[in-house]
Structure 1
Amino acid sequence: MIGDKARRDGAPRGRPAARAARRPPWKVNGSPTSADMINTAIAINSLKDSQTAATVLRAYDFTVAVNHTNSDSTLVPSDGSTPQIDWDPNLAHQVYSADYKAGIQSPAMALAHEIAHVLGMDENQATAFETQIALELGEPTRGNYQLVTQEKIYVENSTEHSANG
């Protein structure tokens, strides 16, 4: 037998990462590639290493629409339907800390920022939420919402980042 068909002992076949990418615990819209699905799984699983993010990820439903449009945004419908996050899994952001030290935040951190909007936070609150998660995960922080450049930084791995300094 091949793929995810059960072995004689009942255990599923195939690599766990591939199975997780096909059946993630969140919803993904659009036509993401298998690489997009894996990068989304990696990002969300890395965010779970933060107590702040893990609590939210267990409590809220959202849909991630993977895009490659060089931007991230969130739509929270007023009718109570599931919020949708448009997210580029390869877009990192150059940020500046409160003392103006440069660093590169991962696409996963951008996803955390957009998740904050699902919770109803404005930009400043979302940046504070993102900062708490960044501190817990050892990623660079930005001093406020405006301390990010418009320069596009592309990465292969959705958790790739560098430290402030």
Structure 2
Amino acid sequence: MLSPHEVLEIALRVENEGADFYRDLAESTNNENQGPVFRFLSSQERSHAETFRSLLKRFEEEAVELVNWDDAGAYMEDLTKEAVFSDRLHDAMNSSDYDEAIALAIEVEKKSIAFYRSFVNNVKTETADALEKIIAEEEKHIELLEGLR
């Protein structure tokens, strides 16, 4: 089982990737309806990252005790990038296929929710509460994205 520190590190990476992805979409779209939504989603993901970053500070002592976290962290980053922010997503964005990018972004939000839900019952209450709040926000992101279709 992953420690709270590890869960938060992974979640932080997911949210930072999401913020960058939505920022890039906002900068590349010419659609006046999509740009504001993508900017909003980017700011939401940054806010989620801040939540995880502040929780991580509470687990700094634990991080010192983790064996080979740097190696595991690099592995988890690669796994997260492929599982959540796949090359398909970046390819769709780069080709300006916004319909596909939106569909894939919805998929990413769903994967993020599933990832966070998998940990809710296995972490400290404080972290579980943060995860639950972020899950609710990610569900709202899906609604926003579906509105762009």
Structure 1 length-normalised TM: 0.28
Question: Normalized per residue, which structure has more strand?
Answer: 1
Question: Normalized per residue, which structure has more helix?
Answer: 2
Which has the greater radius of gyration?
Answer: 1
Question: Quick one: higher RCO (CA 8 Å, sep 6+), 1 or 2?
Answer: 2
